[in-house]
Amino acid sequence: MLKQVSRLTLGPLARGLFRAKIVGRRNVPRTGPVILASNHLSFIDSVVITLFAPRPVSFLAKDSYFKGTGIKGFLSRHFFRSIGAIPVTRGVGQAAQDALDAGLNLLHEGEAFAIYPEGTRSRDGRLYRGKTGVAWLALNAGVPVIPVALKGTDKVQPIGTKSLRPAKVTIQFGEPLDLSHHGKADSGRARRHATDEVMDAIAALSGQQRAEEYNEPPAATFAEKVRRTFRGRGEL
């Protein structure tokens, strides 16, 4: 209910600020579990997807947004809850798996769930290699994936800034992807190929230059290099 109210109240304001162009809304099923997999350009991407999708959407957000004190903390918690944010502890290993499990629970409840396969915002505008959490979710839940392309959100709020600037934003929802033909979720090969299919679909919509590496800083230790080499299902 809170998400519906927020969409009704914030939607018109957001349309004016973002000058939004929305393409392919009919590709998003109005009911039933579904994953929206998007490129990631700006902090406001989740707000844009939530407000302009044809149905309420949930997504994961850092738990620090829900832990503030005073009036600022209250407003932060209320805002993120109103747009469908679910607090999680970000990280690798068990923390990442817990976050994926939270997303899986939402899908089992029949919700629409948004995820960024790149893991974090692109600082140079390129589309980075997708992490396989999106495939793990889709193959475990047996749900379709809607590729989503955002354009212009990095102009509304460039990385490193807190203020918003009026700019034209385009959000395009692609045709649903059925990833079941890749195999089961416990197969690393199936997850990798399924994720690559999702990223190919996002790239076709967004027109971004592809980056073959993951969007993360260079490994600082040998242990981190090993971890990245043997990535498991617990990656967002």
Q: Tell me what pLDDT residue 5 has.
A: 47
Distance, CA of 169 to CA of 151 (rounded, Å): 6
Q: Tell me what pLDDT residue 218 has.
A: 57
- What's the Cα-to-Cα distance from 65 to each of 75, 171, 234, rounded to whole Å? 10, 25, 22
Q: What is the second-level CATH architecture of the domain 2-229? A: 3-Layer(aba) Sandwich (3.40)
Q: Tell me what pLDDT residue 25 has.
A: 95
30: which DSSP letter? Answer: S
Distance, CA of 38 to CA of 45 (rounded, Å): 9
Checking if the pLDDT of 116 tops 80, the result is yes
Distance, CA of 145 to CA of 198 (rounded, Å): 8
Q: In this structure, are residues 133 and 120 in contact, taking their beta carbons and an 8 Å threshold?
A: no
Sequence-distant (6+) residues with CB within 8 A of 112 are 28, 33, 34, 35, 36, 53, 55, 56, 57, 58
Q: Tell me what pLDDT residue 104 has.
A: 95
Residue 226 — pLDDT band, cuts 50, 70, 90? low
SS3 19: coil
Structure tokens that stand for 123 in this block: 């600082």
E-strand stretches of the chain: 21-23, 34-38, 57-62, 85-88, 112-115, 145-151, 170-173
pLDDT digits (tens, 9 = 90+) for 56-92: 999 887 777 777 788 887 787 777 777 778 877 766 6
Checking if the pLDDT of 135 tops 80, the result is yes
pLDDT digits (tens, 9 = 90+) for 21-67: 999 999 999 999 999 999 999 988 998 999 899 999 998 877 777 77
- Nearest C-alpha neighbor of 195 from the set 142, 147, 141: 147
Helices 70-82, 2-18: crossing angle, 10 deg rounding: 90
Better-predicted residue by pLDDT, 171 or 80? 171
Distance, CA of 126 to CA of 40 (rounded, Å): 10
Distance, CA of 35 to CA of 14 (rounded, Å): 23
Other Cβ atoms less than 10 A from the Cβ of 74: the count is 11
Checking if the pLDDT of 105 tops 80, the result is yes
Other Cβ atoms less than 10 A from the Cβ of 73: the count is 13
Q: Tell me what pLDDT residue 198 has.
A: 98
